[in-house]
Structure 1
Amino acid sequence: MDRSTSMYVDGTYYEELGAGEAVLLLHGGGGTVESWAAQAPALASQYRVLIPERRGHGRTADVDGPVSMEIFAADTAAFIEAVGLGPAHVIGWSDGGKVGMNLALSRPELVRKLVLIGTELTHAGGTAANQALLEPAGLEFLAGAFRPQYDALSPDGPAHFDVVFAKWVQMWKTVPDIEPATLTALPMPVLLIQGDDDCVRFEHTAEVARAIPDAQVAVVPGTSHGLPLEKPDLVNRLLMDFLADPQSPKFLPLGDLNP
């Protein structure tokens, strides 16, 4: 990824590209800045793109104590204020989408538009395969996938991986559901994107979309939970279209979103 700036603010590592309205990219669980290598340059052609790494991820040190989506959202709000962004477009992938939704609910004045990519908001909203990732074999797979990048980047050193991974597992198993009924007062437009072979049940996405006053939905064909990497050009086009103002008018709306 073409990096124009990399720096820390209040202990949080982030990278920045481009200029214009602020777009905040929130990586998934175990992810890093590199997760957005296919999106950041495209978005930076029109926007100021900032990619922070959450505590215990990538180049940002861990902090004593447990973690939660609410804590990560509070950290993200503090980051937005420390950098002086004001309201930003927030795009979250997987766990990053959960952090983004918690931020939108707790600090809506900081979120101009919100995008969730491959993000279920309730345990029941995830597919059976997604739920199986919290079983021993699934957790072994996740630890093996996340450890090499952690070992290479973490300022806490490779020996600390087991500590942060245990925190993530506890968070994933106990994360509170965000019920669709709590989304009816969201003031910002929201785009829900997922692959057609993703971790989110289609029925759940439809329920969430119907609850949000201003929602759009995109299911990307032939993709999985890795859709931003699998079909980056299509995902980037969806993101750019959604972030643009004004939105293209609908010619013949006959669907059942927000009836």
Structure 2
Amino acid sequence: MTATTVGYADVNGLHLYHEVHGDRGTPLVLLHGGMLTIDLSFAGLIPDLAQRHRVVAVELQGHGRTADIDRPITPANSAGDVVALLDHLGIDRAHVLGHSMGGAVALELAVSHPDRVLSVVPCSASVRPDGMHEDFLDPERMATSTRMPTEQDLADFTEAYRRLSPHPEHFAGFLASLSASQADLVGWSDEELAGITAPVLLVQGDHDFTTVEHAALMLRLIPGSQLAVLPGTTHMQVTRRADLLLPVLAAFLGDR
């Protein structure tokens, strides 16, 4: 997976790492989940997507090659960073696909920056704190839940941070701040979701962190939205199921 260009953009006090893959078609921004990186999230998708889109893959605050700064990691802050990156790259509007934390950023862009998005694809996202599966409400259930990241996933998180981060010694502190930020996620009101004007494709696994019932709620609250539930798929696998996800994306994005 060789990028057309790689670089950093100095936006909002952040030295933001990004890659551009391909030079044809409409822009498509990819936003990874918490603790993840471009490669861990999208290595299996980018080669195909870059044949039809100018793919802009981003490593958000504190992730991968982007150093952390003294600022909460929130959907609003990260959405502001993405808008500033689009300005830096001279891109007026783009499709945005985000996974988990990145899915929340995609939704925030649709709510607060509608003039900058062509469409949004929030994967494994939720709009309410109670959208999470009951396994996450009970520590004992969480410890044995098959919905959780595997030991290999956790090892991959750690290895990527220590290899890529400008400050690998900050790993423990970064995890603590990220956990605190995610715990404070309040979501969006019914009115905010009803005001979304961009086409929306909601994607999740049938064995995801978010319940299928919550996905149905999002489908009802977001006008004209579509829903794809990937069978036999956990939270961590959603963006790795290229066999299922790429045809769905091709059908949704079409000639947009």
TM-score using structure 2 length: 0.88
**Secondary structure in 1 matching 2:129:** coil
Do 1:193 and 1:218's aligned partners in 2 also have CA atoms closer than 8 Å?
A: yes
User: Which of residues 85, 92, 95 in structure 1 aligns to 2:91?
Assistant: 85
- Give unpaired runs (5+ residues) of structure 1: 247-259
Hey, what's the Cα distance between the residues in 2 that align with 1:16 and 1:237? 22
Question: In the alignment, is residue 195 of structure 1 matched against residue 205 of structure 2?
Answer: yes
Match of 1:44 in 2: 50
Question: In the alignment, is residue 13 of structure 1 matched against residue 23 of structure 2?
Answer: no
Match of 2:242 in 1: 232
**Secondary structure in 1 matching 2:174:** helix
TM-score using structure 1 length: 0.87
Tell me by how many angstroms 1:193 deviates.
0.8
Do 2:65 and 2:165's aligned partners in 1 also have CA atoms closer than 8 Å?
A: yes
Hey, what's the Cα distance between the residues in 2 that align with 1:224 and 1:75? 28
- Give unpaired runs (5+ residues) of structure 2: none
Do 1:180 and 1:208's aligned partners in 2 also have CA atoms closer than 8 Å?
A: no
Hey, what's the Cα distance between the residues in 2 that align with 1:37 and 1:212? 29
Hey, what's the Cα distance between the residues in 2 that align with 1:224 and 1:180? 27
Question: In the alignment, is residue 28 of structure 1 matched against residue 33 of structure 2?
Answer: yes
- Of 228-237 and 15-24, deviating more is 228-237
Match of 1:257 in 2: none
- Aligned pairs, number: 245
Offset from partner CA, 1:157-183 (integer Å, 9 cap, x none): x21112211110111111112234421
- Of 229-238 and 199-208, deviating more is 229-238
Offset from partner CA, 1:105-137 (integer Å, 9 cap, x none): 11110111000111122110111234558x996
Question: In the alignment, is residue 173 of structure 1 matched against residue 187 of structure 2?
Answer: no
Q: 1:16 to 1:245 in 2, by over 3 A?
A: same
Match of 1:3 in 2: 3
Residue pairs, 1:80-229, within 5 angstroms: 80-131=86-137, 146-156=157-167, 158-229=168-239
Identity %: 36
Q: 1:211 to 1:65 in 2, by over 3 A?
A: closer
**Secondary structure in 1 matching 2:76:** helix
Offset from partner CA, 1:136-155 (integer Å, 9 cap, x none): 9689x787652221011001
* RMSD, aligned CA: 2.4
Q: 1:219 to 1:143 in 2, by over 3 A?
A: closer
**Secondary structure in 2 matching 1:120:** coil
Do 2:45 and 2:240's aligned partners in 1 also have CA atoms closer than 8 Å?
A: no
Hey, what's the Cα distance between the residues in 1 that align with 2:137 and 2:113? 29
Q: 1:149 to 1:24 in 2, by over 3 A?
A: same
Do 2:99 and 2:122's aligned partners in 1 also have CA atoms closer than 8 Å?
A: yes
Do 1:38 and 1:228's aligned partners in 2 also have CA atoms closer than 8 Å?
A: no
User: Partner amino acid for 1:32?
Assistant: T
**Secondary structure in 2 matching 1:30:** coil
**Secondary structure in 1 matching 2:28:** strand
Hey, what's the Cα distance between the residues in 2 that align with 1:238 and 1:40? 15
User: Partner amino acid for 1:126?
Assistant: M
User: Partner amino acid for 1:8?
Assistant: Y
**Secondary structure in 2 matching 1:187:** coil
Do 2:126 and 2:187's aligned partners in 1 also have CA atoms closer than 8 Å?
A: no
